[in-house]
Chains A and B, each alone.
Chain A
């Protein structure tokens, strides 16, 4: 079942089309990454599904129902920046989150403050926190009452490397508990490490969406090398079934439609042509390579 379903969502700011008929489904239990360069519409998309912005056209549904205050109460969300009262402490802020959302019991407040590592400063005013601490508290607010769905917009913004690693672990743990996590990011490494699904946006248009493996593996890349690169290249050009060939120094990359690269066949073919290989490996495209390929078109 889909936790979230988007149907042809469009949104313009004056002449600028921020989202153009974006549709996809977020399956239950997935860690769904929304990727895109700055200004691609990620935050606009998240704002629409959280009822902060009104879409011009299209619709969305949470748990099979139209978005409403009741559906939002079941979602822990951090949008853009930590939105909390500057003159209140962590505890006072989370009391407000709890009172509005109805998520969790008072004892949970200390629990989530502990999870995000702010126990020692829980009574300090939010305005005295560093950017990283503010971000942590906003994540803590989203975790309050352990909602089944979490929406994070750039969750590692402002965090130091240790903080980034901690949040990554946290997200992995949440995923293990079966929670659905929807996460916008421009940090590809981040998404590749934690996401099961990904949607890529560019200038408001959805380029692709699906399981990370599927999105990345639309091509098999066989990388081969030999001490005789020229003969190897000449031989491989006669190998059947590849779609393109690239040479990077001594290494040659053969691109095949997904699932069709057979390393044994390549090895046998080269050997029969009198070229011995010293490297033969099946590679997957990195998300970064895929991202640049898609967004640079």
Chain B
């Protein structure tokens, strides 16, 4: 297993897109959260009644322990960046026909997929590390009073890792089946940004089938990291919605693991049977 990862590293270490992606993730995760924090700071730092009210309702979403949750939620919007990398990683193999050469040189067909799965896992771990650092930084920087609560809600670290791995696995599956980077990327972006959101709204608000909306491929893992706690502070319905979403988290975790397992099972099965 480690040998496979080492070979993926040989492929990756001089691949510029990998370092670019890393640099962009390093910028966007703190970037989006800084934007949200500034917004929060602006609406809560004044002396007027509305400012006080906002502060009371919002709490401080960037203070420990809510920092783990808030940063995970906003950062997860940017799964598209590492997805581009994951799609490139598999599409490159087709473009250079190295998916054949790796097997000719002595990998089994399954080892090829295992190596790729390790690669996707590694990218997930890297973005999780970036997330952890950012959440930590906000937790320590935003409110000294709550330092002592830093170790609460640490479950968001494994949840962020699982969500990243699950969503990047969907990206991998697209790249693996479609083989062409730009078509796979186009479908991924269009589905992720447009189709799924329309479908989710349609099921949820039009047909009142919230259960179906929650089962859409990205919504399954989105359901593990629900919107930050302050969204539940805006009245009875919001509170009810937040509590429901929170109680669904364990189910969403199980569904995410199941979907991800199915995705990799498909990859292994297709790779085993098809002509390369």
Contact = CB atoms under 8 A, between A and B. Distances in A.
- Pick from B7, B100, B109, B273 the residue with the most CB of A within 10 Å: B100
Interface string A13-38: 00000000000000000000000000
A125 to B, nearest CB: 9
Contact of B106 (A73, A84, A88, A92): A73
Contacts of B11: 85, 88, 96
Interface in B226-276: 273-276
A79 B15 contact: no
Nearest to A125: B14
Interface stretch (A2-10, A47-55, A210-218): A47-55
B148 interface: no
B23 interface: no
Interface in B96-152: 96-98, 100-109, 111
Chain A contact surface mostly: loop
Contacts of A51: 103-104, 109
Interface residues of B, number: 28
A3 to B, nearest CB: 16
A69 B98 contact: no
Contacts of A50: 103-104
A96 B104 contact: no
B208 interface: no
A81 interface: yes
A87 B103 contact: no
Nearest to B107: A100
A51 B106 CA distance: 10
A126 to B, nearest CB: 9
- Pick from B6, B97, B101 the residue with the most CB of A within 10 Å: B101
Contacts of A84: 96, 98, 101
B12 to A, nearest CB: 10
A83 B96 contact: yes
A68 B14 CA distance: 31
A72 interface: yes
A283 interface: no
B15 A100 contact: no
B176 to A, nearest CB: 17
A289 interface: no
11 contacts: A47-B275, A50-B104, A52-B104, A68-B108, A83-B98, A85-B11, A85-B96, A88-B11, A99-B3, A99-B7, A102-B106
Given A50-B103, A52-B103, 14 more contacts: A52-B104, A52-B275, A69-B108, A80-B97, A83-B96, A83-B100, A84-B101, A85-B98, A86-B95, A96-B11, A99-B7, A100-B7, A100-B105, A101-B105
